[in-house]
Amino acid sequence: MRLHFRRPAREEPEINLIAFIDVLLVILIFLMLTTTYSKFTEMQLRLPTADADAQRDYPKEVIVAVSSDGNYSVNRKPLDGRSVDAVVAALLQAARAGKDTVVIISADANARHQSVVTVMEAARRADLTQITFATQSSAQAGGR
């Protein structure tokens, strides 16, 4: 008597792609959240220059000039001090239109950043919220 044992049918291996894709998406999200992007600060910048079609004329304006050595003048009147309080006092005296006054900061291209921030802080303390920056066109800057 001969016994014939039937071999079980061989199953083909199956790759479950859904679980594989889930794992890859989790890894991708983790990498996106933990990646830091570095900023390059070695860029040469020349400020202030801008190309504008026409300069706007502000009837209620206060022009604050900041020189390269950090001295201030408000509406062409030099200030004695360099403190925020001195600039606030000058802005309050020059801002006859109150809150509608536009503060135009005309800073030298070589002025320290802190000098410009001091003017912005003084404008905030004087409750003058409209601030803009004076620039020169690229053509004028190239002609110097």
pLDDT tens digits, one per residue of 5-57 = 777 777 787 778 898 899 999 999 998 888 776 555 444 545 555 555 554 54
**What's the confidence (pLDDT) of residue 43?**
46
Q: How far apart are CA 65 and CA 104, in angstroms?
A: 8
Q: Which residue has the higher pLDDT, 92 or 2?
A: 92
CATH level 3 topology of 61-142: Nucleotidyltransferase; domain 5 (3.30.420)
Q: Which two tokens stand for residue 26?
A: 């989790």
**What's the confidence (pLDDT) of residue 132?**
87
Q: How far apart are CA 88 and CA 116, in angstroms?
A: 13
| 81 has a pLDDT exceeding 60 | yes
Q: What is the pTM of this model?
A: 0.56
Q: How far apart are CA 120 and CA 114, in angstroms?
A: 10
pLDDT, averaged across the chain: 78
Q: Which residue has the higher pLDDT, 122 or 100?
A: 122
Q: Which residue has the higher pLDDT, 135 or 141?
A: 135
**What's the confidence (pLDDT) of residue 111?**
86
**Residue 37, C-beta contacts closer than 8 angstroms, at least 6 positions apart:** none
Burial 79-99 (b: 16+ CB within 10 A, else e): beeeebebbbbbbbebbeeee
Residue ranges of domains in the chain: 61-142
**What's the confidence (pLDDT) of residue 23?**
93
For residues 98-117, average pLDDT: 87
